[in-house]
């Protein structure tokens, strides 16, 4: 066993220095041009935010959960600790200012049958390490009920060969909160990461995912919805790197914005040199329910290999007038007709959730959010 205090001390100091030197990200930084964090919260608020707290109602059989605030950590956690993360400034902040975190491990060949629920109940900074060994599988359901000023969490995920992680993240409306998350994952041969992100807005909400498909047969499937009202903001920014050939990725995001809300999707696909037979698809669509609402979509492709299949598409609009007229002409009241069209718009993204119960839970949250999104500003 290795002392966690010894392991973290140098890392925290370096991360704190990096955060102080770089400062909060802002609109002049390309990746943050739609989500000006510096204009939303101060650096002193970031350093004083403290650490997050989770509620873990039940640990299913086959899953090992480790509290990283304890003094000792086992070898499997030490082997991955701090080695999977990206280079983002908010990751530096999470490392510098959090005092602990959670580590999850599913041993080789173990299929965890029950979903594991993590409910955030207190804001601040946090770190989550997830290790799925060869052939392991897990469904992680994450809900953020905390409404504190700042939540900033760094996730490091290692998926071994043939491992499968389904990660469902639900972010209820928290109009006064700033919520930032950074997911960095490495996928070995034939591993699969399925992420579904449902965001209902906050003062500023941003999730960044950096996935590296590092072995043949690795697959990433990302989907999500945002239903926004008032002056809320939600940003999902993705970067999937096809580092090996014969890898696949799909992305499907649907955003609905009413009032003065703003929804953002930025998706970048990089196909590395030699990563032949990579297959990548990304689709993002936005639906505006008000004249003062805004949606920004920015798909990107960087291809350094020849034998690949890559495509992207983006579209923003309002409800189709002809479809609405058709439903009204059949005697359907306007509000009900609008709801039917919005549900049809979101349906294929939510259908990506395999578990029927979890899918129904997201639909209930969507229906509640639509009441406010369709209301007058």
Confidence grade of residue 2 (pLDDT, cut at 50, 70, 90): very low
| Predicted confidence (pLDDT) at residue 345 exceeds the cutoff of 80 | yes
Q: How many CA atoms lie less than 13 Å away from 57 in the CB half-sphere?
A: 12
**Mean pLDDT throughout 320-335?**
85
| Predicted confidence (pLDDT) at residue 272 exceeds the cutoff of 60 | yes
Structure tokens at 30: 């390309």
**Mean pLDDT throughout 123-141?**
96
Burial group, residue 336, by CB count within 10 angstroms (0-12, 13-18, 19+)? exposed
| Cβ pair 181, 211 in contact under 8 A | no
The pTM for the full model equals 0.93
| Predicted confidence (pLDDT) at residue 1 exceeds the cutoff of 80 | no
| Cβ pair 113, 166 in contact under 8 A | no
| Predicted confidence (pLDDT) at residue 76 exceeds the cutoff of 90 | no
**Mean pLDDT throughout 294-313?**
93
Confidence grade of residue 5 (pLDDT, cut at 50, 70, 90): low
Low-confidence winner among 99-108, 144-153, 290-299, 352-361 (lowest mean pLDDT): 144-153
How confident is the model at residue 146, as a pLDDT?
66
* All structural domains of the chain with their residue ranges: 2-373
How confident is the model at residue 36, as a pLDDT?
95
Burial group, residue 235, by CB count within 10 angstroms (0-12, 13-18, 19+)? buried
How confident is the model at residue 6, as a pLDDT?
56
How confident is the model at residue 16, as a pLDDT?
86
How confident is the model at residue 327, as a pLDDT?
85
Q: What percent of the chain has pLDDT over 70?
A: 96
Q: What is the longest distance spanned by two Cα atoms in the chain?
A: 71
Structure tokens at 170: 């639900």
Handedness of CA 213, 239, 224, 307 (dihedral sign): negative
- Beta-carbon neighbour count of residue 216 at 10 Å? 14
| pLDDT tens digits along 53-72 | 899 989 999 999 998 877 77
**Mean pLDDT throughout 72-79?**
82
Low-confidence winner among 8-12, 102-106, 194-198, 251-255 (lowest mean pLDDT): 8-12
| pLDDT tens digits along 152-194 | 999 999 999 999 999 999 999 998 999 999 999 999 999 999 9
Structure tokens at 148: 């504190």
**Mean pLDDT throughout 311-331?**
87
| Predicted confidence (pLDDT) at residue 4 exceeds the cutoff of 70 | no
Higher pLDDT, 373 or 185: 185
What radius of gyration, in Å, describes the C-alpha atoms of the chain?
21
| Predicted confidence (pLDDT) at residue 246 exceeds the cutoff of 60 | yes
As a whole number of angstroms, the distance between CA 364 and CA 353 comes to 14
Show the DSSP H helices in the chain as ranges.
4-22, 43-47, 75-80, 89-97, 321-329, 334-350, 356-373
| Cβ pair 40, 24 in contact under 8 A | no
| Predicted confidence (pLDDT) at residue 128 exceeds the cutoff of 60 | yes
As a whole number of angstroms, the distance between CA 3 and CA 83 comes to 17
């Amino acid at each position: 066993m290795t002392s966690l205090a010894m392991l973290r001390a140098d890392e925290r100091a370096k991360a704190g220095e990096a955060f102080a030197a770089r400062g909060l990200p802002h609109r002049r930084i390309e990746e943050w041009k739609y989500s000006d964090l510096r204009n939303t919260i101060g650096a002193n608020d970031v350093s004083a935010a403290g650490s997050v707290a989770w509620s873990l109602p039940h640990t299913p059989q086959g899953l090992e959960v480790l509290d990283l605030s304890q003094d000792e950590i086992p070898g499997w956690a030490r082997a991955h600790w701090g080695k999977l993360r990206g280079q983002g400034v908010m990751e530096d902040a999470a490392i510098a200012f959090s005092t602990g975190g959670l580590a999850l491990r599913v041993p080789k060949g173990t299929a965890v049958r029950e979903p594991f629920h993590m409910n955030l109940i207190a804001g601040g900074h946090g770190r989550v390490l997830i290790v799925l060994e060869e052939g392991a599988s897990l469904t992680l359901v994450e809900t953020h009920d905390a409404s504190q000023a700042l939540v900033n969490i760094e996730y490091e995920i290692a998926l071994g060969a043939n491992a499968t992680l389904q990660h469902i993240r639900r972010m209820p409306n928290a109009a006064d909160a700033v919520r930032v998350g950074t997911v960095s994952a490495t996928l070995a041969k034939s591993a699969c990461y399925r992420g579904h992100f449902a965001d209902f807005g906050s003062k500023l909400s941003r999730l960044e995912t950096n996935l590296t498909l590092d072995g043949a047969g690795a697959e990433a499937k990302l989907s999500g919805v945002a239903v926004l009202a008032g002056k809320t903001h939600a940003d999902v920014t993705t970067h999937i790197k096809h580092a090996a050939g014969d890898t696949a990725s799909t992305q499907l995001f649907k955003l609905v914005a009413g009032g003065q809300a703003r929804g953002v999707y930025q998706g970048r696909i990089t196909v590395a040199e030699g990563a032949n037979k990579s297959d990548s698809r990304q689709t993002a669509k936005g639906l505006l329910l008000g004249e003062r609402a805004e949606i920004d979509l920015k798909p990107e492709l960087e291809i350094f290999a020849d034998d690949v299949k890559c495509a992207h598409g983006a579209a923003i609009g309002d409800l189709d007038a002809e479809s609405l007229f058709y439903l009204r002409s059949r005697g359907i009241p306007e509000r009900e007709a609008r709801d039917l069209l919005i549900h049809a718009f979101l349906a294929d993204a939510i259908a990506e959730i395999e578990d029927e119960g979890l899918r129904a839970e997201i639909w209930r949250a969507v229906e509640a959010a639509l009441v406010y999104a369709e209301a007058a500003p």
